[in-house]
Copies of this chain bind each other. A is one copy, B any other.
């Protein structure tokens, strides 16, 4: 089965954009890029950024599409519950809220995951998840939903299903229309979603279903004052397994049928320089989280890339054969050019920290870092993304015979050879200022 929608990609202009909506909560802020903006609508992407204060909990929720999360700052624990997975990961002495009301057996629940800066976390469509900041600084999580994904059989609209809390309908929440370069009209309203779904059930029926007092049910349905992120009453001492032990477990080899969602690794860190997948001296480096690195991505059909361009270095001109991408600027500045099939420059802009822009599939792009370099993370709608570089050692120029290039551009064979080899041995990332012009 699949879903489908009246998607159109008539992009005349792409601009880097900031979040268009902001929802303040007791324990943090949720910012949303307008999913009806042309570039996001074409790609089917819904980007968000959560800022969770210390000792605060991003409440359990789920989305109608797979979600890829990048931890921009901080540390915390995250739970992604999956029906039928065992609840024996943590119990008795490991867990104690200090209140002593529970018996010897302690609390049993599904595995929780320690997350930290640089982690990419994969959340399947419809999986309930929560996140607690147990660190000493704000936890910032940037994420993208792939609403066009096969896993979503509804339409392309952004929906957030809250299992607790939720924004109020009565205007208590505040949002600010960002006064930025994006000036499009959107029909989308964040007030339409992120509500507590328990509100819709009959209170008495719920009490019977959970077999709890109606007073408890009243609390579950309450959404009026704390929003999507709440302050915790005291430190939650949620223990996650020792980091290395966990990693070891998660890297266990595939063993057939037992490798289900329950035991699959759900995160991969793309911050470490020594694990870079692409490295060019004076150019920069790229770390990738694709289905080879993080097998669960095969089911989500998404992937991510963390990049670092040196000052004034270039990302080779290229196009993607496989996916739409959305680039989120972490640090520094970038000049980004995107060209469509008419040869029109649909983007030629300076991108700054905190902004996002989409590079549509097949559209050619050429990017250059500013004087202080540029760092980014990008989210892609394929778990095995493939780029087609135009310059450098694995480029489309390199693949063609000199005679073809020479005749195609009416240049001499030696000029054609320069086009093929003058960037050797660089491939994706190019060092600055080697132009012979």
Contact = CB atoms under 8 A, between A and B. Distances in A.
A411 B9 contact: no
A64 interface: yes
Contacts of A404: 57, 60, 79, 130, 132, 236, 238
A346 B199 CA distance: 12
A258 to B, nearest CB: 16
A4 interface: yes
Contacts of A275: none
A208 B319 contact: no
A416 to B, nearest CB: 9
A413 B101 contact: yes
Interface in A420-437: 422-423, 430, 432-437
Interface string A198-228: 1111101111111111101001101100000
Interface string A395-428: 1111111111011111111110111001100000
A155 B6 CA distance: 9
A57 to B, nearest CB: 5
Chain A interface, DSSP helix/strand/loop, else mixed: loop
A7 B389 CA distance: 33
Given A109-B400, A337-B200, A436 B211 contact: yes
Contacts of A382: 1
Interface residues of A, number: 164
Contacts of A337: 200-202, 205
Given A79-B401, A409-B216, A362 B126 contact: yes
B83 A388 contact: yes
A164 interface: yes
A161 B341 contact: yes
A192 B84 CA distance: 46
A401 B197 contact: no
A381 interface: yes
Interface stretch (A17-25, A135-143, A144-152): A144-152
27 contacts: A1-B302, A1-B324, A2-B150, A3-B4, A4-B5, A4-B148, A42-B154, A79-B404, A81-B399, A95-B402, A99-B413, A102-B402, A107-B403, A107-B417, A153-B381, A166-B343, A193-B342, A195-B341, A205-B368, A206-B366, A208-B433, A209-B316, A210-B419, A211-B422, A211-B435, A214-B437, A216-B411
A-B residue pairs, 9 tightest by C-beta: A200-B339, A126-B321, A81-B399, A4-B4, A195-B343, A1-B381, A199-B343, A164-B408, A208-B435
